[in-house]
Structures are given as C-alpha cells and as structure tokens.
C-alpha cells in the first residue's frame, strides 16, 4: 500500500539551524501555493488507494482550516490508516485539534527539538516546555494520542544536564513516539555561517562537537529504551505498534506520491522530485525524474532500520568486500541472512552507506 506526502514549506520564523526550502513567505505566496497544491492533487491519477498521508514542512499546522479540509478531501482513501500532520508547538489549539481529528488526522508530530528555554530561543523558536505539555493534553482530549516529539541532540548551548532535562520531559509527557536527530550544521544556515565567520548571536561557539552530540544521542537511546520506546530506525523510537507507517514506506521502498515544492515521489521504479523552491513550484516547473537504483537503495535505506535487511545470495557476493570490512570493524552484524548496523555502526552510518552507493 502506498503513501501520500504533502509539502507545506511555510513557517512562522526561520530557525537558525535550518536550511530546508521552508521559511517565511508573503501571505499572497501562501494563498497561491495552496491553490497550486490543490490543482496538483486534482490532476493526479491515483494508481492505488493511499494508506498513509503525511503533511510535512515547513509548518503545515499553520494551514487554514478551510485549506486543510479542501486539500485532504482531494486525497482518496479516507479514513487513512495513518495521517500525520507536523505541528510547531504554539500552534495547537483545541479548535485545530478537533478539526484535524474530524478530517482524518490521527497522528501529530510536534517539532519540539528541546524543552530547555535558552536552547529553544537560540533556534529562533518561541515555545516553552509548559506550552508543549498543554498541547499534548489538547491533542489527547481531541482523541489524537498518537503523538511524536522531535528532539535535536547538539543544539547550541546544550549540555549533558540540559539534555537530561529534555529527556525528563519525554518521561513526563510519555509520547508513544520520539525522533532524535543529531544536529549536522549546514554551512548555509544562519548557525553554519556564524560558525564559519564568527559571531555570538546564534551560539555557534557553544555548539557541542560531534563527539558530545553522539554521546547525547547514546544517552537518549538508553533512556528511551528504559521508557519502552524501542529504536526501530536510526532516529526513530516508538512503543510497539506506534512506528510511523508512512516513514516506514521510505525505508522499505514502498511507493508514495509527493505534492508541493521539493516533494519527492517513488513508484517502485522511478524517483521524481518537484521544483525545489516555492517560486519554481508556483511558476509551474515540472518534476524531474530519474530511474531508481533499487538494488543499492535497499542497503542504504534498509540498513537505517534496526531490523536490518535480508540479503539475497548474489547480494552477499556483490558486496562481500565492504560487508566483511564492516563486520570486522564491528559496524555491521549478520545473523540468519540478515544484515544490520550495530550500535557503533549507527553512529558511523553515513560511512557505511557510502560504501554501498559507490560499490
Ligand atoms: S526547522 Fe522547521 S520550523 Fe524551523 S524553519 Fe526549518 S522547516 Fe521551518
């Protein structure tokens, strides 16, 4: 079964570490964007009935009620098995939560990143930990208990004690799903530029190094496991049965159709990508397509899953040299025909994946 991704790249502010195409745009662009999205959805021929929907961003929780209702009405398959909306803390109101539930949204992903006020301010965001607490309660009252909380390890000013504070909040709020990302500072983000050129505004000098960030991530793995949140993918942790069905499609190479700026689609054989920028998308630019390299992709997306990938005999032979090297180095482990990353391999996963792309 396939999934649908809707990109809504509008945000209330541009976060200091962010280098997505998302950001703050004039109101008029937002209106034109919703109209273009609706037109793209209307023009689509559906070869399958979608099982999952994911509204990502950007900040789709800023979408007006009427717009959201209209866009979702253009996607067949309602009620979907899983329909997620990404929300910025501070944007969840009882009215919105009820509307989301009414439209078939049954999962909300909150971009919290940190519960520590000085870290949150440095990113440019405005929420506080009590706001997140209130909003999780609002969602639960509206019948949306399937809540994900995103955290970032390695934010400017983060210390072991402050990271523990964020993890304490996770224990207190008990969401069934948590995503933990290790911050990789992009040179083009405001934080990245400050790191290169100097300055004190975004806390570049106080950004934890790779080793500290990895230690924070490891702390989270341990703490979340103790809370019953199993790591099922490098950055994703869930109570049994709460794994993201939509995101699993990406890692299992199942088809999905993406709509909006920079949205990607995969039909099992071909990958395509819509124009990257909002301006390019609004100008009616066409999607670019390339043949998928499923035999290689199977490794670098499949290995992201802690269950690993089951290899065919010819794949063991084809990738024998890198597999053996990573087994010897303790980055991969093999058992009953299944290859998976070890705990150390997760931290060096990019190095491992690279080998399967270039072989
Ligand atoms: S991090 Fe998220 S909310 Fe912040 S600017 Fe980027 S897309 Fe928008």
CA distances from 294 to 299, 313, 315, 341, 357 (A): 9, 16, 12, 19, 11
Write the pLDDT tens digit of every residue in 72-116.
999 999 999 999 999 999 999 999 999 999 999 999 999 999 999
Half-sphere exposure of 356 (CA within 13 A, CB side): 26
**What pLDDT score was predicted for residue 206?**
85
196 band by pLDDT with thresholds 50, 70 and 90: confident
Q: Distance (Å, rounded) from C-alpha 77 to C-alpha 46?
A: 10
Residue 13 burial (C-beta neighbours within 10 Å; 0-12, 13-18, 19+): middle
184 band by pLDDT with thresholds 50, 70 and 90: confident
Write the pLDDT tens digit of every residue in 127-162.
999 999 999 999 999 999 999 999 999 999 999 999
Which tokens hold the place of 357?
């792309």
187 band by pLDDT with thresholds 50, 70 and 90: confident
CB 16 within 8 Å of CB 191: yes
**What pLDDT score was predicted for residue 190?**
84
Show the ligand 1 pocket: residues with CB < 6 angstroms: 11, 14-15, 18, 20, 22-23, 57-59, 88, 111
Ligand 1 mutation pick, 21, 109, 111, 151, max ligand atoms within 8 A of CB: 111
Backbone angles phi, psi at 82, to 5 degrees: -145, 130
- Helix H or strand E segment including 218: helix 210-226
Sign of the dihedral through C-alpha 76, 78, 82, 87: positive
Which tokens hold the place of 140?
């639960």
> Is 352's pLDDT higher than 60?
yes
CB 154 within 8 Å of CB 182: yes
CB 252 within 8 Å of CB 266: no
**What pLDDT score was predicted for residue 358?**
54
Average pLDDT of span 173-186 = 94
> How many other C-beta atoms are found inside a 10 Å radius of the C-beta of residue 349?
16
170 band by pLDDT with thresholds 50, 70 and 90: very high
Distance from chain centroid for Cα 236: 9
Which atom of ligand 1 lies at the shortest distance from residue 113's CA?
1
Q: Distance (Å, rounded) from C-alpha 94 to C-alpha 129?
A: 18
Write the pLDDT tens digit of every residue in 22-41.
888 888 999 999 999 999 99
> Is 220's pLDDT higher than 70?
yes
Distance (Å) from CA 127 to ligand 1 centroid: 13
Residue 108 burial (C-beta neighbours within 10 Å; 0-12, 13-18, 19+): buried
CB 189 within 8 Å of CB 16: yes
Distance (Å) from CA 342 to ligand 1 centroid: 31
- Residue whose Cα lies nearest atom 5 of ligand 1: it is 14
282 band by pLDDT with thresholds 50, 70 and 90: very high
| Three-class DSSP category at 330 | coil
Write the pLDDT tens digit of every residue in 293-324.
988 888 889 999 999 999 988 888 988 999 99
7 band by pLDDT with thresholds 50, 70 and 90: very high
- Helix H or strand E segment including 182: strand 177-182
CB 239 within 8 Å of CB 177: yes
Torsion of CA 290, 295, 299, 304, to 10 degrees: 50
The pTM is what? 0.95
Which atom of ligand 1 lies at the shortest distance from residue 11's CA?
8
Mean per-residue pLDDT of the chain: 94
């Amino acid at each position: 079964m396939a999934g649908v991704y809707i990109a809504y790249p509008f945000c209330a502010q541009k976060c200091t570490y962010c280098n997505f195409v998302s950001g703050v745009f004039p109101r008029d662009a937002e209106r034109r964007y919703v109209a273009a999205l609706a037109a793209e959805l209307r023009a689509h021929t559906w070869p399958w009935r979608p099982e999952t929907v994911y509204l990502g961003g950007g900040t789709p929780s800023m979408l007006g009620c009427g717009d959201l209702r209209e866009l979702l009405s253009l996607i067949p398959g309602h009620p979907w098995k899983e329909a997620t909306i990404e929300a910025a803390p501070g944007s969840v109101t009882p009215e919105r939560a009820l509307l989301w539930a009414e439209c078939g949204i049954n999962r909300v992903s909150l971009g919290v990143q940190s519960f520590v006020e000085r870290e949150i301010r440095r990113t440019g965001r405005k929420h506080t930990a009590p706001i997140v607490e209130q909003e999780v309660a609002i969602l639960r009252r509206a019948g949306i208990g399937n809540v994900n909380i995103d955290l970032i390890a390695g934010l400017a000013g983060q210390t072991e004690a402050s990271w523990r504070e964020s993890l304490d909040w996770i224990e207190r709020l008990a969401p069934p799903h948590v995503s933990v990302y290790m911050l990789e500072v992009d040179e083009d983000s405001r934080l990245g530029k400050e790191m290169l050129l100097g300055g004190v505004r975004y806390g570049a000098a106080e950004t934890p190094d790779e080793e500290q960030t990895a230690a924070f991530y490891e702390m989270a793995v341990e703490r979340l496991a103790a809370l019953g949140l199993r790591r099922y993918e490098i950055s994703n942790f869930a109570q049994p049965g709460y794994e993201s069905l939509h995101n699993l499609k990406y890692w299992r190479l199942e088809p999905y159709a993406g709509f909006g700026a920079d949205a990607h689609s995969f039909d099992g054989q071909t990958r395509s990508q819509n124009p990257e920028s909002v301006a390019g998308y609004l100008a009616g630019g066409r999607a670019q397509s390339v043949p998928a390299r499923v035999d290689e992709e199977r490794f670098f997306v499949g290995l992201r899953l802690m269950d690993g990938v089951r290899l065919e005999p010819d794949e063991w032979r084809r990738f024998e040299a890198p597999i053996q090297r990573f087994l010897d180095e303790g980055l991969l482990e093999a058992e009953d025909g299944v290859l998976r990353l070890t705990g150390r391999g997760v931290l060096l996963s990019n190095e491992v994946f690279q080998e399967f792309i270039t072989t």
